[in-house]
Amino acid sequence: MYTFSNRLKIASFILMAVGVLGIGIGFMAAPSTVEEAKAIVAAHGDGHGDAHAVVESHGDEMGHGDAHDASHDEHLLHQLQNKPWAALYVAAFFFFMIALGVLAFYAIQRAAQAGWSPLLFRVMEGITAYLVPGGIVVFVILAMSVAHMNHLFVWMDPEVVAHDALLQGKAGFLNGTFFLIRAAVFLGGWILYREYSRKLSLAQDESNDDSNFKLNFRISAAFLVFYLISESMMSWDWVMSVDPHWFSTLFGWYIFASMFVSGITVIAMVTIYLKSRGYLPDVNDSHIHDLAKFMFGISIFWTYLWFSQFMLIWYSNIPEEVTYYVTRIADFNLPFFGMVAMNFLFPVLLLMNSDFKRVNWFVIMTGIVILAGHYLDIFNAIMPATVGDQWFIGIPEIGSILFFAGLFIFFVFRALTKAPLQPKRNPFIEESKHFHY
Amino acid sequence: MASKVIHAFYNDDDVLMHAVKKVKAAKHHIEEVYCPFPVHGLDKAMGLAPTRIAITSFMYGCVGLTVAIVMMNYIMIQDWPQDIGGKPSFSYLENMPAFVPIMFELTVFFAAHLMVITFYLRSRLWPFKEAENPDVRTTDDHFLMEIEIHGNEQELKDLLMDTGAVEINITEK
């Protein structure tokens, strides 16, 4: 049995406390009036102020008049007000998506009857324990958006929809009630599978036959069907709909790749941590090697989807699609291309060598870069539509990351204490113990 | 120089593995082992050095990537930078997404093909090459261990008989 070390518990509480502080500062610093918003931007420094002045004088020359300036200021206010919300949402979704990615990996391992991974099932089940608290947090943020407490999703603003024929056309799908019902169905389905599969997994330890195992196999296969559909729709709802004028067909896969690789990375990191503490004596370097191969392969898969989406849109350059990338390249140049380096170049070069995949600290280092890269990925997906060129990775963003990291560590490691870390009667456990690559 | 070799036949890969370990432990040099199929772990038991073919493949891939970049930079950007459908041919970087599929494919092409050719060269395989197996049964259901004799014929024979060999021949080479 694993015991939650006090140091780690205290560390998670400190992370949460510091995070709450950062989130609080973010919300306090957000402007409530147009004047405050302008003052914040003016205080940003000379370079930015000058550029802004040029744009404004340019606007005057074009004869747009005061109405345009007023709407511009209003826009700026909304962006700055969105900052703490978007920071919270990005971090909440990022950590939730890790747990969901692990759940998908777990279901695949069960459905594929993999012989190497049963030793890691309890680790995966521990990580997916975060689905419940993480899912609730994400759902509450979404419900607050529907309740007009923020401007994360413009299509939720009736004012905007009233003047936007495109959004009116999409209102059948993008309306608050249906949005929340869908979110509840997705979360309900994922959590239901997680809890039921966990129950069967624990029951298998005590049973005299393999009926629990077989049932778990069947529900895992069924869950994967549900997961593929729900995950795809979830990505349209929770991520793509911040840009309601833009759509991409492979977006669901793209978000999936991001959560899948982050999830596998976290499995590897938690496994290495537990192993280093002596809790997983039968896990050997070959298991780590396999996880690192998955990290390597799915990183390339993510890049493939990222590039396919980018290149198709860049190549055809259709105005209604390409604005998505125009704003990202103009305002988010470093995070946008930086994440490609972090999510592709780094893992490809570091994890290509077969020997490196067995070196635990190497896997941890690469894992940290991959996780940071996929945080940036979600950051790049949400921020341009919510805060635009006012983005910054400052106190609210880092505070949110720390808070959810603390929450994640607390719930994951608490769940790990609830059951023995090694399944007893899994039919593949002997094979897994002697797994050697 | 005419030298004598001893050929020990086995009909099971497990027995062969044990025999290899025993012969290695007795400090005899195994010239060669002929098998009808890959025996997992045989290279480790024989103490063969790990292959470096993956490293050559990586380097060939780098060559392929370089060829693709230099070629397209010359053709599309330097030599005749036409406006084709509004694509920005001002610099390589500006038009790079369009070149990535070719960069990728050439990397894979070079890495794969040159590695295969390296494999053929290093393992001396080519059409019309004369087959080297000392006994036709080694391609079907027998395993053969070849050890050179340095005046210790009887000792070797005893050792190999002990390891479960089904047949032992001594031939001139």
Residue-wise pLDDT tens digits, A241-251: 999 999 999 99
Across the interface, whether the CB atoms of A352 and B100 are under 8 A apart is answered no
Encoded tokens for A83: 């900052």
Q: Which residue of A has its CA nearest to B40?
A: A437
Per residue in A164-211, pLDDT (tens digit) is: 999 999 999 999 999 999 999 999 999 999 999 999 999 999 999 999
Interface mutation vs chain B, best among A314, A340, A350, A352, most B CBs within 10 Å? A314
Across the interface, whether the CB atoms of B97 and A310 are under 8 A apart is answered yes
Instruction: Say if residue A144 is exposed, middle or buried (CB neighbours under 10 Å; 0-12, 13-18, 19+).
Output: middle
* CA angle at A92 for the pair A87 and A98, rounded to the nearest 5°: 130
pLDDT grade for A63, boundaries at 50, 70 and 90 = very low
Q: Which residues of B touch A (CB under 8 A)?
A: 54, 58, 86, 97-98, 100
When the pLDDT of each residue in chain A is averaged and rounded to a whole number, the result is 91
Sort out which chain A residues have CB atoms less than 8 A from B65's CB and list them: none
Nearest CA distance, B51 vs chain A (angstrom): 12
H helical segments located in A235-284: 251-276
Please state the φ and ψ torsions of residue B47, each to the nearest 5 degrees: 75, 30
Please state the φ and ψ torsions of residue A328, each to the nearest 5 degrees: -70, -40
| Rounded mean pLDDT, A47-74 | 54
pLDDT digit string (tens) for chain B, length 173 residues = 568 899 999 999 999 999 999 999 988 899 999 999 999 989 999 999 999 999 999 999 999 999 999 999 999 999 999 999 999 999 999 999 999 999 999 999 999 999 999 999 999 999 999 998 899 999 999 999 999 888 888 888 888 888 888 999 988 87
Across the interface, whether the CB atoms of B100 and A307 are under 8 A apart is answered yes
Nearest CA distance, A311 vs chain B (angstrom): 6
The span from the CA of B158 to the CA of B137, in Å, is 23
Q: Which residues of A touch B (CB under 8 A)?
A: 307, 310-311, 314-315, 317, 352, 354
User: What pLDDT shows up at residue A55?
Assistant: 43
Cα distance between the two ends of chain A: 27
Instruction: Say if residue A6 is exposed, middle or buried (CB neighbours under 10 Å; 0-12, 13-18, 19+).
Output: exposed
Sheet strands (E) in A309-385: none
How many CB atoms are closer than 10 A to CB A148? 11
Coil/strand/helix, residue B170: strand
Across the interface, whether the CB atoms of B98 and A315 are under 8 A apart is answered yes
Does the pLDDT value for residue A33 go beyond 90? no
Of B54, B58, B97, the CB nearest to A315: B97
User: What pLDDT shows up at residue A48?
Assistant: 45
Across the interface, whether the CB atoms of A315 and B58 are under 8 A apart is answered no
Across the interface, whether the CB atoms of A314 and B97 are under 8 A apart is answered yes
Sheet containing strand B4-10, edge to edge, reads B30-34, B143-148, B4-10, B167-172
User: What pLDDT shows up at residue A287?
Assistant: 95
Q: Cα B73 vs. chain centroid, distance in angstroms?
A: 36
Sort out which chain A residues have CB atoms less than 8 A from B102's CB and list them: none
The span from the CA of A388 to the CA of A274, in Å, is 41
Across the interface, whether the CB atoms of A311 and B100 are under 8 A apart is answered yes
Across the interface, whether the CB atoms of B97 and A317 are under 8 A apart is answered no
Encoded tokens for A310: 């980018």
Per residue in A275-320, pLDDT (tens digit) is: 999 999 999 999 999 999 999 999 999 999 999 999 999 999 999 8
The span from the CA of A71 to the CA of A247, in Å, is 26
Sort out which chain A residues have CB atoms less than 8 A from B88's CB and list them: none
Tokens 């050929």 correspond to what residue? Answer: B7
User: What pLDDT shows up at residue A92?
Assistant: 97
Nearest CA distance, A355 vs chain B (angstrom): 12
Does the pLDDT value for residue A89 go beyond 90? yes
Sort out which chain B residues have CB atoms less than 8 A from A317's CB and list them: 86
Rounded to two decimals, the pTM is 0.91
The span from the CA of A139 to the CA of A183, in Å, is 7
Sort out which chain B residues have CB atoms less than 8 A from A310's CB and list them: 97
User: What pLDDT shows up at residue A67?
Assistant: 60
Encoded tokens for B109: 């092409």
Q: Which residue of A has its CA nearest to B96?
A: A311
User: What pLDDT shows up at residue A45?
Assistant: 52
Q: Which residue of B has its CA nearest to A348?
A: B58
Sort out which chain B residues have CB atoms less than 8 A from A307's CB and list them: 97, 100
Coil/strand/helix, residue B165: coil
Across the interface, whether the CB atoms of B97 and A352 are under 8 A apart is answered no
Across the interface, whether the CB atoms of B97 and A307 are under 8 A apart is answered yes
Q: Which residue of B has its CA nearest to A306?
A: B97
User: What pLDDT shows up at residue A121?
Assistant: 95
User: What pLDDT shows up at residue A54?
Assistant: 41
Sort out which chain A residues have CB atoms less than 8 A from B58's CB and list them: 352
| Contact residues for A343 (Cβ-Cβ < 8 A; gap 6+) | A261, A299, A302, A303, A306, A370, A373, A374, A377
The span from the CA of A311 to the CA of A324, in Å, is 13
Nearest CA distance, A437 vs chain B (angstrom): 11
Interface size A-B, in CB pairs within 8 Å, comes to 12
* CA angle at A74 for the pair A68 and A80, rounded to the nearest 5°: 135
Please state the φ and ψ torsions of residue B80, each to the nearest 5 degrees: -145, 80
Of B58, B86, B97, the CB nearest to A311: B97
More confident residue, B133 or A414: A414
Nearest CA distance, B97 vs chain A (angstrom): 6
Selection from B146, B127, B125 nearest residue B135 by Cα: B146
Sort out which chain B residues have CB atoms less than 8 A from A315's CB and list them: 97-98
